[in-house]
Amino acid sequence: MARVKPKRRGPSMDLTAMSDMAWLLLTFFILTSNFREPEVVPVVTPTSVSNQKMGDDNMMVIKINNDGKFLFALDENERIPTLERMGEKYGVRFTDAEKNAFKSVVEFGVPMKEMRSFLNQSADNQKNYNPGIPLDTIPNKNQELIDWVFEAKEVNPDLFLAIKGDQKSEYIKFKTLIAQLQEKNMNKFQLITSQE
C-alpha cells in the first residue's frame, strides 16, 4: 500500500509587526533630523581628498562668493548678542523689530552702515541684497568682517570658524582674509571643500 504524502507547507511569517517597526523608525528619523538652512548665495567649493567632516554646532562661516564678496553666517543663538556688540562698536542702535529680523537671517553680506536698512526690508529683498562685508587689504583699515568674527567669539568662545570659498573667486581674497585673521592671532579655522 502506498503512503500518502502530507501536503508540504512553506513556513509562514506574519510581517505586520516588522512593517510597523519600519514605519516607526522612519517617522522617528524624519522628526528628529535637523534640516540644513538654505544658502542665500550658492557657493561652488573646490574639491579635495580630505574626509574630515565639519561639525554642525558652534560654527560661524565666512563665505567668499564668485564675485569675491564676503558673507557671514552664525548660529541662531549667537546672532542677536553679536549684532548688539557690533552695533555698540560701530555706533548703530537697533530696534527690537530689527533684532528679531536679524535672528531669522541665515547669512548676510552687508556693511554695518547699511545694516538697519537691510533689516527693514522684506525677506525676499534681503536675499537679493548682498554687497559684501568690507575687508580691506591694509591692516587695521576697514576690518568689519574680522570684527564680526571676534565679536561672535566674545559672545561664545567655543565657536569655530570655517571659510567657504567659491572655486571661481580670486586667490587674493583668501590671502587677504587669512592674513587679517593671522594679524589678530587667529590661526585655527577650517576650509570647507567638496569631496573629490
Q: What pLDDT, in 10s, does the model give residues 47-68?
A: 666 667 776 778 899 999 888 8
The pLDDT confidence band at residue 31, using thresholds 50, 70 and 90, is: confident
To 10 degrees, what angle do helices 96-103 and 76-90 make?
A: 130
pLDDT at 53: 72
Sign for the CA dihedral angle at 167, 171, 173, 176 comes to positive
pLDDT at 40: 65
Into how many domains does the chain fold? 1
- 186 assigned to some structural domain: yes
Q: What share of the chain has pLDDT > 90, as a percent?
A: 32
- 148 assigned to some structural domain: yes
For 171, the domain range is: 47-195
**101-136 pLDDT tens trace:** 999 888 898 999 999 999 999 888 888 888 888 887
Grid coordinates of 106? 541665515
Grid coordinates of 9? 507547507
- 18 assigned to some structural domain: no
Tell me how many degrees the CA angle 187-191-193 measures, rounded to the nearest 5: 170
- 59 assigned to some structural domain: yes
